[in-house]
Structure 1
Amino acid sequence: MAEQEEWEGLRVEGPDGNSGVAWLSLHRPTRFNALDAVLFHSLPLAIAKLDGNPDVRVIVLTGSGAHFCAGIDLSTFAQIAGGGGGGGRRNQTKKKEKKLRRDVKELQSSFTAFEECRKPVIAAIHGACIGGGIDMITACDLRYCTKDASFSVKEVDLAITADLGTLQRLPRLIGHGNTMELALTGRKFTGSEAKSMGLVQDVYDSKAEMLAAVETLAKQIASKSPLAVVGTKAVLLKSRDLTVAQGLEYVALWNAAMLISQDLKTAIQAQNHKQSKPFFSKL
């Protein structure tokens, strides 16, 4: 039986047996998994715990209830906009600006935790994925959705600029022009359109079908050498922000430190003996 743990606004399950797959679910179904201050606080803590668990090799991110994520809860907007201290009007404005910058940086770090997690994170999206939900999934490593999923970079309709990662990460997934159009209009787009643009890897008819397919994929990744999987994610993310020459230098340094491992010997032996499922050590 898979281990289950409750965080406020989150549910963590797994890994079950030797699968290596853990499930992290946004769990505010009555609020359509809107992101409040507590959830922003819980997310990086839960991810850090999963990252540190040697039995976890892949994390699947899902949403409970009818929708994946309705964006940032209005209560969180109110908390960010409030406060600022006393003093004159100019002094008060400066204090509010400093507080807002600190608050935004803290919220950004909650989603950056997905990238900083050594293990791959796969987002499985159904229903609505709006605003902050886009910020979150673009920080994940792979994304899949149902055909009834809908997406919206909604911040422009709230008179703000998306500031938790969408404008930085989405162009690298779907291109500058597509991002510009979606961010300026705030329009809703479908799962099939998300796939055609490259935001998601595949679209499924139902949530059950999607979760089954994602679980199969996650188990396939989890069966690989943890060192190789961690290295592949780290090098791809690092190379995203480097020139080709710099990326080649980085991977050379990485493999110089990591290549001589028991996993390499195990993989070679498995190939030589035509062994279908080699057993790799935990991180």
Structure 2
Amino acid sequence: MNDRVTITHLEDGIADVRMVRTDKMNALDPAQFQALADTIEELHGTKGLRCVVLSGEGRAFCAGLDLSSMSGNSSGDGEKKKGGATGDLATRAFGDANLAQYVAWGWRKLEVPVIAAAHGVAFGGGFQILSGADIRFIHPDTRCAIMEMKWGLVPDMAGFPLWRGNARDDVIRELTYTNREFNGREAHAMGFATHVSDTPHEDALALAKVIANKHPAAMRGAKTLCNAMADLSDADLLMLESTEQLKVIRTPNQMEAVMAEMQKRKPVFAE
């Protein structure tokens, strides 16, 4: 896409998305925020997309906010300074989210599953971007932190609505209040990561291939249901199950999924 984020379209509808600001460990400055948002918007309109793998090139997944990008702002509190890198924090420029939130929350709002592969460092905003993925592979030695309190800020890149489904309330509070660093193994034990892997990007691509060969409409419906679990009442979630099932059951693609499974072959779905 540009010098900050690249998209490589692989077979079976897999998009390999990489942050490529390697000289800054993929740290977030205004251009990086905008590139990530533009990437999500482009993926929304990509025909035939079935799965996304998100990673960082170089030594890190993402080192969080590039503090040098705040240095040119006028004096004021830290949140105003951060606004210089992310735009007006009060403006909901992307549905329910502002720009800073969208670069993490936007992955959850994509219709298809997003798999993140983290290594090196996932600090602050980088950790929140990682948290936006549906499934997260992490190298055991990855350095992680909810870093914002170190700079007198609060986490404000959609971390809280993402973390509440991952880790215990008291764990989130402690890590937020102290900005304590933890590694990939600890992230997995606490619920922030799905898998610990010595080869996270390779394993993420392997899983993406499995997901990409499932019924696309059923996969979109399953993600809709997963996203709704935390917000809907039992009755509404039961109804949503039925609504999503009625969209796919007995369709040609659903029957193709059945036949491919019975015949032990790769399915061929109509887009």
Deviation of 1:134 after TM superposition, in Å, equals 1.5
User: Structure 1 residue 160: deviation in Å?
Assistant: 0.8
Query: Could you say which residue in structure 2 is the equivalent of 1:259?
Result: 249
Q: What is the alpha-carbon distance in structure 2 between the residues aligned to residue 191 and residue 99 of structure 1?
A: 33
5+ residue gaps, structure 1: 1-5, 85-95
2:210 is aligned with 1:223: no
Tell me the C-alpha RMSD between the 2 structures.
2.2
One-letter amino acid of the structure 1 residue matched with residue 266 of structure 2? K
Instruction: Give the Cα–Cα distance (whole angstroms) in 2 for the partners of residues 82 and 141 of structure 1.
Output: 38
> Do structure 1's residue 127 and structure 2's residue 120 form an aligned pair?
yes
Amino acid at match of 2:263: K
TM-score (norm 2): 0.87
**Among the aligned pairs, what percent are the same residue?**
28
Give the CA deviation at 1:258: 3.5
Structure with more of its chain in helix, by fraction: 1
In structure 1, the residue matched to 2:8 is 13
Q: List aligned pairs for 1:108-147, cutoff 5 A.
A: 108-147=101-140
C-alpha separation between the residues in 2 aligned to 1:244 and 1:202? Answer: 29
Distance 1:261 1:22 in 2: 26
Residues 192, 165 of structure 1: alpha-carbon distance in 2 compared, 3 angstrom cutoff: same
Q: Which residue does the alignment assign to 1:67?
A: 60
Rounded to whole Å, the distance in 1 between the matches of 2:184 and 2:144 is 8
Deviation digits for residues 192-228 of structure 1 (CA, Å, limit 9, x no counterpart)? 11111111111122xxx22222111110000111111
Deviation at 1:99, TM superposition (A): 4.3
Does the 8 A contact of 2:50 with 2:212 survive in 1?
A: yes
Answering whether residue 135 of structure 2 is matched by residue 151 of structure 1, we say: no
Correspondence 1:277 to 2:266: yes
Where 2:245 maps in the other structure, the secondary structure is helix
Q: TM-score, normalised by structure 1?
A: 0.84
Contact 1:51 1:119 in 2 (8 A): no
SS across alignment from 1:34: coil
Report how many aligned residue pairs link the two structures: 258
Q: Which has the larger radius of gyration?
A: 1
Give the secondary structure class of the aligned counterpart of 1:7: coil
1:52 is the counterpart of 2:45: yes
Q: Could you tell me how far 1:269 is from its partner in structure 2?
A: 2.6
1:22-41 correspondence runs (5 A): 22-41=15-34
Which of 181-190 and 112-121 deviates more?
112-121
> Is contact 1:171–1:178 with CA below 8 Å preserved after alignment?
no
User: What is the correspondence of 1:82-121 to structure 2 with a 5 Å cutoff?
Assistant: 82=74, 99-102=88-91, 105-121=98-114
Please say which of residues 178-187 and 47-56 is displaced more in the overlay.
Answer: 47-56
1:159-238 aligned at under 5 Å gives the runs 159-205=152-198, 209-238=199-228
Amino acid at match of 1:46: T
Other structure's SS at 2:214 match? coil
Letter of the structure 1 residue corresponding to residue 112 of structure 2 = K
Rate the CA distance shift 1:257–1:65 in 2: closer, same or farther, 3 A. same
For structure 2, the residue ranges without an aligned partner over 5 or more in a row are 77-83
Q: How big is the shift at 1:24?
A: 0.6
Partner Cα separation in structure 2 for residue 124 and residue 82 of structure 1: 36
Q: Deviations over 1:216-256 (max 9, x none)?
A: 11100001111111111111101221122221111212222
Alignment partners' CA distance in 2, 1:19 and 1:182: 39
What is the deviation of 1:29? 0.6
